[in-house]
Structure 1
Amino acid sequence: MKEPITAGVCDGATESALAKDWARLLSRSVAEHAMKRPELLAGGTAFEEFAASAVAQWDPWLLQYTQARVAEGRPLKWYEHTKLAEGAFATLLTVRVDPDPGPGAGIDVEEAEPAWHWRAAALGDSCLFHLRDERLVQAFPVGDADEFGTVPDLFGSRNHDAALLACRTRFTEGRCRPGDRLFLMTDALAAWFLSAPDQKVAVHQLLEFSGPDDLSGFVDWLNSLRDRRQLRNDDVAVVRIDFEGR
């Protein structure tokens, strides 16, 4: 990988209206902004400007949605208007990965191999896991299954207090080398992973079923975990980034 990449995972809060649509808009927006302005992953003014920009996109999107509903002959009901006035809510997790130039033009001098630098931001309980040699190197922002709660911090589509959103967002960074992997997961799968009695077995399952070419196998695996009550019955999203030599 010679160019930076970004990815975002946002989990809509089911109790809010159009949460899935807001999560989709938010994840795309944060990934695009992180590509253009990597400094937002350090917090501060850059993150506040992203937050304000994301919220500003909601009302225009909602207007188009409302007009489409009218055109389809199914305008919003009164109770939908009431719910939409409260806004939509979602967690936020994004990561940007850059080739690490280092003093050796992309080579880690100490380890004499390619290296990459990643930075991440999280609001709520969607999680990033950094794996090396099939072992967990770092978990962010939740490090223990007992830390998952029922009311995580959320990014609201009508929250115009960008400074508050930035204050509640956590930031971290790390470095990867060939063979490492990053996983971005929504809370249900992240909680399963952190609570697994044998994490090595859990890692092997993730690697077996999280590839891009077998969606049906991934769904069957998730359903088997739910049937055994090992995975909470909730939506699941996962992004996997594998690091190979250049």
Structure 2
Amino acid sequence: MTHPPSCVYVTHLVAPKHGSTEAECEDAVVVLPHRSHDHMLREALTAGVCDGATESALAKDWARLLSRAAAEHALERPDLLSGGVAFEEFASSAVDQWEPWLAQYTKERVADGRPLKWYEHTKLAEGAFATLLAVRVDPDPGPRPDTDESAPAWRWRAAALGDSCLFHLRDDRLVLAFPVEAAEEFGMNPDLFGSRNHDAELLTRRTRFTEGRCRPGDRLLLTTDALAAWFLSAPDQVAAVRQLLEFSGPDDLGGFMDWLNGLRKSQQLRNDDVAVVRIDFEGR
């Protein structure tokens, strides 16, 4: 049977907390392959979403490095987000990138006449920390989802360490929340991926893995904790989804930030950095 064509559109927005600059934002997103938000994707795509832990030194830099490493490795290895040895190898590789990066950073600080202070060395010795959400989406040539034999399908896999979340939506209604399922589950001490944690087996054990399948009309939203908590606590989640869908591309960043600040002012949203990736599945 010949199935009708299907494609994916993907975009992402990252916004700092109120009172902070873009350069200070500790949330990071990398989506691969690099395409404009209005490009029809028919091949595999990956995303890495990280929320740097403010309490640690250079958290934003580690979040950026980790999100890129996750997206790159997931694109290279389709089995990465199933866990096991593949994920352990990724974890080791990501941590191994930190010391060379830090050495270059330290060298640049000296060249700029701003060598690290003694207290910065102390903090850096503890390492940097971030949550991690990694997702891979692939065209699925297998049986059609549910009972619609004519609909094309896509398969997704996800790995999460900490409280950055994936939401699978169908008809603008929540099908799955991962790894946090309810707003009251958000806490002050989520699991974190440390830049100096060389115990890849431990990191893998603490990471949760899941997968699912999407059909045309479905959406995946990947968000860091503040926006995820707002969504899960919304009294009307369909209305909350529709608010989010007002922002569909990079040109909407200004309006997105205004919307976030309105939610913060009304105390519906905690004042924190926000990142969201939106993946729309299209077809007929």
- Matched residue, 1:42: 82
Distance in 1 between residues matched to 2:70 and 2:130, nearest whole Å:
13
What aligned pairs does 1:74-153 form with structure 2 within 5 A after superposition? 74-102=114-142, 110-111=147-148, 112-153=150-191
Q: Do the aligned partners of 1:4 and 1:97 also contact (CA within 8 Å) in 2?
A: yes
Query: Counterpart in 1 of 2:271?
Result: 233
Q: Which residue of 37, 45, 48 corresponds with 1:8?
A: 48
State the SS of the aligned residue for 2:250: coil
SS in 1 for 2:222: strand
What is the alpha-carbon distance in structure 2 between the residues aligned to residue 119 and residue 213 of structure 1? 29
The aligned residue for residue 52 of structure 1 is 92
Cα shift readout 1:91-121 (whole Å, capped 9, x = no counterpart) = 0001100000115xxx659411111000000
Question: Structure 1: how far apart are the matches of 2:260 and 2:74?
Answer: 30
**Which residue of structure 2 aligns with residue 188 of structure 1?**
226
User: Residue 199 in 1 paired to residue 240 in 2?
Assistant: no
**Aligned equivalents of 1:135, 1:149: Cα separation in 2:** 25
**Alignment gaps of 5+ in structure 2:** 1-6, 8-41
Q: Displaced runs of 4+ in structure 1, greater than 2 A? A: 107-110, 209-213
Match of 2:113 among 73, 76, 88: 73
SS of 2:190 mapped into structure 1: coil
In structure 1, the partner of 2:3 is: none
CA distance in 2: counterparts of 1:241 and 1:97, whole angstroms: 9
Residues in 1 aligned to 2:220 and 2:108: alpha-carbon distance in whole angstroms: 38
Which is bigger in relative contact order (C-alpha 8 A, separation at least 6)? Answer: 2
- Equivalent pairs counted in the alignment come to 243
Percent identity of equivalent pairs: 80
Counterpart secondary structure, 1:10: strand
> What is the CA-CA distance between 1:213 and the residue it aligns to?
2.3
Does the Cα contact within 8 Å between 1:127 and 1:187 map onto a contact in 2? Answer: yes
Once residues 182 and 5 of structure 1 are traced to their aligned partners in structure 2, the CA distance between those partners, rounded to angstroms, is 13
- Equivalent residue letter for 2:93: S
User: Of Structure 1 and Structure 2, which has the larger fraction of its residues in strand?
Assistant: 2
Q: Take 2:225 and 2:47, find their aligned partners in 1: how far apart are those partners?
A: 17
| Structure 1 residue 193 displacement after superposition | 0.3
Residue 172 (structure 1) aligned with residue 210 (structure 2): yes
Query: What letter corresponds to residue 150 of structure 1 in structure 2?
Result: M
Quote the Cα distance in structure 1 between the aligned partners of 2:259 and 2:195: 33
Structure 1 residues 152 and 133: alpha-carbon distance in aligned structure 2, compared to 1, 3 A threshold: same
Structure 1 residue 211, shift from structure 2 partner: 3.5
Asked if structure 1 preserves the Cα contact closer than 8 Å seen for 2:130 and 2:194, the reply is yes
**CA offset at residue 245 of structure 1?**
1.2
Q: Which residue of 1 aligns with 2:65?
A: 25
CA gap 1:139/1:118 in 2 versus in 1, 3 angstroms: same
Counterpart-to-counterpart distance in 1, 2:275 and 2:137: 19
CA distance in 2, matches of 1:81, 1:164: 26
Instruction: Indicate if the aligned counterparts of 1:210 and 1:218 stay in contact, CA closer than 8 A.
Output: no
Which blocks of at least 5 consecutive residues in structure 1 are unaligned? Answer: none
| 1:9-35 per-position Cα deviation (integer Å, ceiling 9, x unaligned) | 000000000000000000000111011
Choose 212-221 or 151-160, whichever is displaced more: 212-221
> 2:145·2:214 contact (CA, 8 Å) conserved in 1?
no
For 1:244, what is the secondary structure of its paired residue? Answer: strand
